[in-house]
């Protein structure tokens, strides 16, 4: 089996490449990634010499790059490539629309022309918008995205749906909750706070810290994607949740406790505009139809994640410079 993984140098994509090369060692994996600030080939150092792994540099929204990519044949395509950080989407929404919408449409076009057997599009629970204190998002909940990032992902989902309906293309969509685990870029909440706590720097917590997310260990997400790839039905959407609803404040306290750091490091800052209050996913569909459920309990997942960042200090110290630092200073100066 030949598979194309787009965005494989990012957090979830690189975890998925590790996962799949173990799970299906005879599958040939091509990683297509433009290496934005979030793409890092160091995430894949240990597999770079695997004869079944290949990296191709290219942009999913560039027709020449995508045409070159599709000069080879693939059985399955899994589309992870995206601009993925909500905070950044406040400053440059156009880039999110270009990559996340037009890039996805370009991939769909070529994959359709080449007769791909499965096209799995990796989406997010953020497309559903914000929940009150009760209830869960099901796959047929209305789309109500609140950030440019979420709107671009919701639009891509609609384009994927249209290719299934109009062209009978074998498209499947997954929508996952907030991921955490190894190789996550240290601008996202959990690694952001781990790395800052390790440097004894303040942890800037938005608003009252009571926004709730449904946390999913990245290996569980990879396992769910593989399950959907093998057993999912075309034209369907599958929610993927970890069943771990936590407030940002609970997460922050747990990170500090695990690292034996004082709560005085918490610094409340002005809330993110349009900050969704709560996400929570109903995962009955993937559970009952495809027999998938998350395996990792949250406390163990956090221990493992903190352990990984402690052991891989050079990995994140290399990142915490240049472009990343400029973004951080711009964004948090406005909020402090
Ligand atoms: N991180 C989460 O909690 C989460 C939750 C649900 C869904 N998702 C979705 O999962 C996917 C992966 O998320 P992530 O957290 O690994 O993101 P990430 O930002 O860590 O990685 C994105 C990768 O895509 C690449 N990329 C960006 N633009 C590209 C382009 N134009 N062409 C080719 N490659 C490009 C980057 O170089 C990077 O390697 C995204 O589609 C995201 O929307 C993420």
Q: Clarify whether 125 is annotated catalytic.
A: yes
- Confidence grade of residue 336 (pLDDT, cut at 50, 70, 90): low
**Considering only CA atoms, which residue is closest to atom 27 of ligand 1?**
82
Is residue 229 over pLDDT 70? yes
CATH 3.40.50.720 residue ranges for the chain = 2-180+215-240
- The SS3 call for residue 270 is coil
What pLDDT does 327 receive? 74
Of the CATH numbers 3.90.25.10, 3.20.20.70, 3.40.50.300, 3.40.630.30, which one belongs to the domain with range 189-213+246-277+298-327?
3.90.25.10
Question: Is 183 touching ligand 1 by the criterion CB < 6 Å?
Answer: no
Among 33, 125, 187, 245, the active-site one is 125
Global pTM? 0.96
**Per-residue pLDDT tens over the stretch 78-111:** 999 999 999 999 999 999 999 999 999 999 999 9
CATH 3.90.25.10 residue ranges for the chain = 189-213+246-277+298-327
User: Which strands sit side by side in the sheet containing 76-79, from one edge to the other?
Assistant: 53-57, 28-33, 2-6, 76-79, 118-124, 171-176, 237-240
User: What are the tokens at 291?
Assistant: 């027999």
Q: Report the atom number in ligand 1 closest to the C-alpha of 35.
A: 37
CATH 3.40.50.720 at 2-180+215-240, yes or no? yes
* Average pLDDT of the chain to the nearest whole number: 95
Q: Report the atom number in ligand 1 closest to the C-alpha of 62.
A: 31
């Amino acid at each position: 089996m030949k598979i194309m993984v787009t965005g494989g140098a990012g957090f979830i994509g690189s975890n998925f490449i590790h996962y799949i090369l173990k799970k299906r060692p005879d599958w040939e994996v091509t990683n297509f990634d433009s290496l934005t600030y979030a793409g890092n080939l160091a995430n894949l150092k240990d597999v770079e010499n695997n004869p079944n792994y290949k990296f191709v540099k290219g942009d999913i929204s560039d027709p020449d790059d995508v045409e070159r990519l599709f000069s080879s044949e693939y059985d399955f395509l899994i589309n992870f490539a995206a601009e993925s950080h909500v905070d950044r989407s406040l400053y440059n929404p156009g880039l999110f629309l270009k990559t996340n919408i037009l890039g996805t449409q370009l991939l769909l076009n070529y994959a359709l022309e080449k007769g791909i057997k499965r096209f799995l599009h990796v989406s997010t629970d953020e497309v559903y918008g914000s929940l009150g204190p009760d209830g869960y998002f099901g796959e047929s909940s209305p789309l109500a995205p609140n950030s440019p990032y979420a709107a671009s992902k919701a639009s891509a989902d609609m384009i994927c749906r249209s290719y299934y309906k109009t062209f009978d293309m074998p498209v499947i969509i997954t929508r996952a909750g907030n991921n955490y685990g190894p190789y996550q870029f240290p601008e996202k909440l959990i690694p952001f706070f781990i790395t800052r706590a390790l440097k004894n720097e303040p942890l800037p917590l938005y608003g009252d810290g009571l926004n709730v997310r449904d946390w999913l260990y990245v290996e569980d997400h990879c396992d769910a994607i593989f399950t959907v790839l093998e057993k999912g039905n075309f034209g369907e959407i599958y929610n993927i949740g970890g069943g771990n609803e936590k407030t940002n404040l609970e997460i922050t306290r747990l990170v500090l406790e695990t690292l034996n750091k004082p709560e005085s490091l918490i610094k409340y800052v002005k809330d993110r505009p349009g900050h969704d209050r709560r996400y929570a996913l109903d995962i009955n569909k993937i559970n009952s139809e495809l027999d998938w459920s998350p395996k990792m309990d949250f406390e163990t997942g956090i221990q493992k994640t903190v352990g990984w960042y402690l052991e891989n200090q050079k990995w994140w110290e290399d990142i915490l410079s240049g472009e990343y630092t400029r973004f951080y200073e711009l964004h948090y100066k406005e909020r402090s």
